[in-house]
């Protein structure tokens, strides 16, 4: 299956403003700045469908994108960003938790995006644990692989698989589009 159409539908804050139609949802989660919006843009082949984190507002809500008129990509707010105030970070965390744990219309799959160059952080590991506790079908994407020197690649990949305790990782780059087809195949 391929993506034939994609549009920004709406932003929701908690349960307020959720889309009316109950299509399956693919959620994209990850720390701020790992490239959630960029990965979505790469998948749909549009440069600025999911506006990057520099745009205020959009990053503070659950952003619903309608794909092929029958599926949602949901861009979640980032978590664990040190530049946010604690109060703000806590508010975002609560909304993410609500969406993943209490919301009646749970996402069918969760794409967890990490920064492949930085490697899995404490926040990433906590998020994986939470997703596993909630029995989610998780796809881990290590983004920004273009930033890693060729000579470092094997070592970095090994470090990522060891820390995450899985070999099931899609190595990705929004810049070079590496991993795009592999990820599309897994989510569609
Ligand atoms: N080199 C490189 N930079 C990336 C990649 N993906 C995203 N970025 C950059 O990382 C920054 C954050 O991206 P964004 O998509 O806004 O992250 P978000 O906060 O997780 O939605 C932007 O400056 C992007 O251009 C990638 O694969 N490679
Ligand atoms: Mg973003």
pLDDT tens-place string over residues 67-124: 999 999 999 988 765 566 778 778 888 899 999 999 999 999 999 999 999 999 999 9
- List of long-range contacts for 175-182, beta carbons under 8 Å, 24+ apart: 175/144, 175/146, 176/146, 177/42, 178/145, 178/146, 179/141, 179/145, 180/42, 180/43
CB neighbourhood size of 53 (10 A): 18
pLDDT at 165: 85
Tell me if 147 CB under 6 Å of ligand 1: yes
| 58 pLDDT tier (thresholds 50, 70, 90) | low
Q: How far is CA 39 from CA 28, 48, 113, in A?
A: 9, 11, 9
**Residue 1 falls within a domain, yes or no?**
no
Alpha carbon distance 187, 182 (integer Å) = 9
pLDDT tens-place string over residues 11-33: 898 888 899 899 999 999 999 88
**Residue 68 falls within a domain, yes or no?**
yes
pLDDT tens-place string over residues 31-47: 988 999 899 999 999 87
Q: Please state, rounded to an integer, the average pLDDT across all residues of the chain.
A: 90
* Nearest atom of ligand 1 to the alpha carbon of 174: 27
Which of the pair, 147 or 84, is modelled with greater confidence? 147
CA within 13 Å, CB half, 134: 21
Instruction: Give the Å distance between the CA of 126 and the centre of ligand 1.
Output: 22
User: In testing the pocket of ligand 1, which one of 31, 38, 117 has its CB within 8 Å of the most ligand atoms?
Assistant: 38
pLDDT at 155: 97
| 137-145 average pLDDT score | 97
Instruction: Give the Å distance between the CA of 115 and the centre of ligand 1.
Output: 9
Q: How far is CA 42 from CA 47, 110, 173, in A?
A: 7, 17, 9
For 178, the token pair is: 């590496």
Alpha carbon distance 172, 56 (integer Å) = 26
**Residue 61 falls within a domain, yes or no?**
yes
55 has a pLDDT exceeding 60: no
**Residue 160 falls within a domain, yes or no?**
yes
Look up the domain containing 66 and give its range. Answer: 6-187
CB neighbourhood size of 58 (10 A): 17
CB of 26 closer than 8 Å to CB of 113: no
User: In testing the pocket of ligand 1, which one of 11, 29, 33 has its CB within 8 Å of the most ligand atoms?
Assistant: 33
Q: Which ligand is nearest to the CA of 145?
A: 1
Q: How many domains does the chain have?
A: 1
pLDDT at 86: 78
**For residue 87, what is the domain's CATH number?**
3.40.50.300
pLDDT at 88: 79
For 101, the token pair is: 């744990």
Tell me if 42 CB under 6 Å of ligand 1: no
Instruction: Give the Å distance between the CA of 174 and the centre of ligand 1.
Output: 7
Alpha carbon distance 41, 102 (integer Å) = 28
| 5-10 average pLDDT score | 92
């Amino acid at each position: 299956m391929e993506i034939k159409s994609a549009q920004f539908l709406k932003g929701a804050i908690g349960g307020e403003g959720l889309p009316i139609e109950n299509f399956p949802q693919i959620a994209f989660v990850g720390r701020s700045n790992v490239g959630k919006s960029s990965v979505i843009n790469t998948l749909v082949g549009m440069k600025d469908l999911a506006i990057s984190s520099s745009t205020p507002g959009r990053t503070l809500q659950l952003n619903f994108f309608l794909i092929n008129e029958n599926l949602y990509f949901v861009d979640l707010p980032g978590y664990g960003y040190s530049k946010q105030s604690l109060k703000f970070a806590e508010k975002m965390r609560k909304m993410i938790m609500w969406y993943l744990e209490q919301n009646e219309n749970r996402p069918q799959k969760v794409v967890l995006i990490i920064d492949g160059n930085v490697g899995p952080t404490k926040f990433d590991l906590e998020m994986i644990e939470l997703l596993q506790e909630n029995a989610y079908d998780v796809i881990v994407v290590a983004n920004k692989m273009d930033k890693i020197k060729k000579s470092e690649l094997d070592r970095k990949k090994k470090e990522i698989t060891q820390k995450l305790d899985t070999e099931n990782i899609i190595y990705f780059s929004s810049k070079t589009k590496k991993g795009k087809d592999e990820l599309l195949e897994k989510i569609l």
